Structure 1
Amino acid sequence: MLNPKKLEMSFKRYSNNFVKGIKFEDVVEKYEISKSKINNIVNLNDIEKDHILLINLNNISSYYLSKWKNEVLINGGVSSDGLKTMQIVVFYQCMAHELYQIKYPKMFLSYSFAEAIKALMHFTMFGWKKEEKILFDFIVRHFGKHLMDANNWNKHTWFLLELYLQYRNKTIVGTNQKLHITVREQFKKSDLEYDLIPEDLDIYSEVLENWATPQLDEIKTLIDKMSVFHSNLASELGESIEFGDYRYGFYPYEILFLIHVREKIGLPVPDHFNDLLMNTPEAKMTIDDPEPYPEWDPLLRKIDIFYRKNYPDYIPNKHGELFQ
């Protein structure tokens, strides 16, 4: 049962983390350190040390995380530009890691399966079809391998991926139905790690069976159940592995994606919500259809140009200009 007081206290800690905890000036300082390292490698065209460019993408992402939180969560703005740049960074982390498969085959990944799916979902919501397709192809090509380790416990991540597949009429491992079960079985047969993949998706299984219902009351009931599930886990901020993190804990992106998908195919959606989760500043961000690309981060641009110049097999080289 949801404890409203506990949820409110968690939300206060979630917000205060970007005021009293992660201070913006500290994030800016790390960004400036990364700037120096990136400029040095790029100016010298130092291919032997260029994996440092990939490592420093994390500091670029952290910088825009803080910008997003300050703009929306702290100051009450509605711009999603910081969030958009964060998802773009995940895209380039994926693209760059593919370059190091031979040189550093066991290199620690700077993104996770869950983060890649979040980026894919956001690209879809933003209407960035070209980049969405490139990222989806990457996910399929490496699914279950080192670059896309799908042995992941997040139930909402499997929900998002399956909903995406059904919406786009695509498949992974030959299916878009009960995907987590099929993947568990296939990974087990292939002697791949599968123990973290959930055996059930809780409320998300019910939603996947009924997400395309034409009945407004039915989808409203399902969304309310999703919100309670998310809110209970967000109440365990710092402890829950599903929604207990300070980046996305009170940002109901899985519900917003469901609403987006239904709107795109002409199905009714609720026009208001009464719960805390669906009324957080992040839930109320303005997202246009399509959403304009944000201004390029200058360090990210330098990294992209460097890889395009030195690696003919770099995926973006095959697709021309991106994110513009």
Structure 2
Amino acid sequence: MINQKKLEMAYKRYSNNFIDGIKFEGVRDKYNVSRKKIEKIVGQNETEKDHILLINLNKIFKYYLSLWKNDVLISGGNNTEGLKNMQKVTFYQCMGHDIYKIKYPEMILGYSFREIVLTLVHFSMYGWEKEENILYNFMIQHFGEHLIDANEENRHIWFLLELYLQYRNKTIMGTNKKLYLTVKNMFKEVEKRCGSIPEDLNIYDEVLERWSTGDLEEIEHLISLMSEYHSGLASEIGQLGEFGDFRYGFYPIEILFLIHVRKQFDLPVPAQIDNFLMNTPEAKLVFGEREPYPKLAPALEMIDQFYRKNYPEYIPNKHGDLFQ
């Protein structure tokens, strides 16, 4: 049973983190410093220092994270430009690290498995099929290697990935069912790190079995259980663990994606969901059938053009213009 008061207090801490803690103005100032470094390296075509561009993508990501929170969480609006640009940064982080996989094979990654899955899912929700397919191909090419460290502990991330695979009729390691167990077992056989991969997905296992049900009451019940699971963990905001972080703690993307996928198959979805989690500003975000690409992010575009110019093997060179 959810402790409602504890949940509400946790949400207040979640919101205040971007009001009294990580202030937008401070993040913006750091972003502007990074942008000047980027402009200098790109302007002088300093290829010996170009790994610094990849490092500075993290500052760009944090800027757009703060912008998204400021626009939606704090102001209560529905502007998703910041969210889209966050995911665009993750995409280019992947593309950049692919360049350095030989030159710097152990380079610390600027993204996580979680960020890649979340980006892939959002691209599919936005209708950005070209970029989605490029990212999916990058994932399957490097899955289980340094660039895609799949030793992921969060159950909802495995749920999102598996639902995505079933929705798109795609596979990883030859399967789109119980993927996390397949990965865990295969990693064990070749002695790869897999200790964080869960043994079960809790409520998400049941949802994956029944996500395509035509019974509205059944899917309402499953969403209620998902909300309860998410809310219980989000109540521990600030602690280590699933939904305990201030980035996505109260953003119910796994429920939003489930609803999105069901709509694509003309399956019934709840008209409204009456619980605290699903009535926060982030939960109320609505994505169109084909979302417009975000406005050009100058610093990000400079990095992309630099890599296109200096590295023929850079993946985007094979696909022409992107995010347009």
TM range (shorter): over 0.9
Alignment of 1:265-276 (within 5 A): 265-276=265-276
The CA distance in 1 between the partners of 2:275 and 2:118, in whole Å, is 23
Point out where structure 1 has 5 or more consecutive residues left out of the alignment. none
* Alignment match, 2:184: 184
TM-score normalised per structure 2: 0.99
Could you tell me which amino acid in structure 2 is paired with residue 169 of structure 1?
N
Per-residue deviation at 1:98?
0.6
SS at match of 1:322: coil
* 1:320 correspondence with 2:320: yes
Check the 8 A contact 1:143/1:149 in 2, yes or no. yes
Partner Cα separation in structure 2 for residue 24 and residue 191 of structure 1: 43
Tell me, in whole angstroms, the C-alpha distance in 2 between the residues paired with 1:194 and 1:35.
37
* Equivalent in the alignment of 1:280: 280
Matches within 5 A, 1:74-223: 74-223=74-223
Partner of 1:40: 40
- Cα distance in 2 for residues equivalent to 1:158 and 1:24: 31
Residue pairs, 1:24-39, within 5 angstroms: 24-39=24-39
Tell me which residue corresponds to 2:72: 72
On the 8 A contact 1:79/1:286 being kept in 2, the answer is no
SS at structure 1 position matched to 2:150: coil
Q: Which residue of 2 aligns with 1:261?
A: 261
Amino acid at match of 1:28: R
Q: Deviation at 1:286?
A: 2.7
- Counterpart CA distance in 1 for 2:146 and 2:309 is 26
Q: How far apart in 2 are the matches of 1:3 and 1:139?
A: 39
Q: Distance in 2 between matches of 1:81 and 1:33?
A: 21
Q: Between the two proteins, what is the percent identity of the paired residues?
A: 63
Q: 1:83 & 1:25 partners in 2: Cα distance?
A: 18
Question: Aligned partners of 1:244 and 1:86: how far apart in 2?
Answer: 20
Following TM superposition, by how much is the alpha carbon of 1:154 offset from its aligned partner in structure 2, in angstroms? 0.7
Residues 234 and 240 in structure 1, CA contact (< 8 A), matched pair in contact too: no
2:7 corresponds to 1:3: no
Deviations 1:165-218 (A, max 9, x none): 111111111111111111111111111111110000000000000000000000
Distance 2:268 2:316 in 1: 37
Q: What per-residue deviation string (whole Å, max 9, x for no partner) do you get for residues 42-78 of structure 1?
A: 0110011000000001111111111111111111111
Instruction: Note the alpha carbon deviations across 1:212-235, whole angstroms, 9 max, x for none.
Output: 000000000000000000001100
Query: CA–CA distance in 1 between the matches of 2:98 and 2:241?
Result: 27
User: 1:240 and 1:212 mapped to 2: Cα distance?
Assistant: 33
Partner Cα distance (2:158, 2:313) in 1: 30
Aligned residues: 324
Structure 2: 5+ residue runs without aligned partners?
A: none
Letter of the 2:29 counterpart: E
SS at match of 2:149: coil
